[in-house]
Amino acid sequence: MTTPEARPVPRILIIDDEPQIRRFIKISLAADGYAPIEAASGTEGLERVIQDRPDLVILDLGLPDMDGQQVLSRIRELSAVPVIVLSVRAGEAEKVEALDRGANDYVTKPFGIAELTARLRATLRRGGQEEGAVQAVIEAGPLAVDVPHRRVRLDGREIKLSKKEFEILRLLAAHQGRVVTHQKILREVWGPAHIDAMQYLRVYVGQLRHKLGDDPARPRLIATEAGVGYRLVVEG
C-alpha cells in the first residue's frame, strides 16, 4: 500500500521593516500551516526571493533602504511569484502604480489578519494560472470565454457581445480575481492614445454588465474597485 505524497507547505515571504508586524503575520501564517520567511529590508527581501523561492510575497512599501514600488519592479524582473502589497499608503495612485507594476493584490494597514489570509489563499489558488498565458477557453465561475471563436457563455447560454465588450471581458477573465486597472484596460482594448478615456470604459462596462445581467450594486461577476479598476469576481 502506497502512502500519498505530502503536499509541500507554501513558503510565504514577509518583507516589512516593522518587527511586530512580521511577528504578528508570521504567527498567524504558521498557525494556518504555512512556512513564513522574514525580511526586514528591500535588499534582504530580493535576496530571499532568489534564494528561498517563496510561493507568495507579502510586501510593505515603506522600507528603510528602497521604496517598495521599486522592490516590486525588481521582483517582477526576477520572478512571477504572486505579490500582495500590505501598506499604510491608501491613495488610489499608489494602488494603481503597484497593480500596474505587477502586484496581485493590495491590502491597506491597519488590516485584519482574517482578510489578509483570505486574500492570500485566493491568490495562491490562482498561482497556477500563469500571467499572460494563452488559453483557448478561459473558464471563470459561470463564464466560459472562447478566445479564438470570440464567444461567451454564461451558465451555458451564449451571450452576444460587441468586439470591445468581448475584449474587456477577455482581459478581466484572463486576470480573474485580480484588479485590472482602468489604464491597463484602456491601453489594451483602445490603445495607448486612449488611456485617459474613462467615459468610454464606463459606458462599455455598463453595457457589458447589462448583457451579463450583473447588478453593479451587488456584483455577481464584475466588481468595481473605486478609482482603480475592475475585477472579475471569483467565488470560493
- Average of pLDDT values for 162-171? 91
pLDDT at residue 218 greater than cutoff 50: yes
Quote the pLDDT of residue 134. 46
Decide: 42 and 15 in contact? Cβ < 8 Å.
Answer: yes
Dist CA 164 CA 180 (whole Å): 16
Regarding beta strands 83-87 and 229-232, do their DSSP bridges make them parallel or antiparallel, or are they unpaired? unpaired
Regarding beta strands 11-15 and 35-39, do their DSSP bridges make them parallel or antiparallel, or are they unpaired? parallel
Architecture of domain 11-125: 3-Layer(aba) Sandwich (3.40)
pLDDT at residue 161 greater than cutoff 70: yes
Decide: 69 and 97 in contact? Cβ < 8 Å.
Answer: yes
Q: Does the predicted TM-score (pTM) go above 0.95?
A: no
Q: Where are the domains of the chain?
A: 11-125, 137-232
Fold observed for domain 137-232: Arc Repressor Mutant, subunit A (1.10.10)
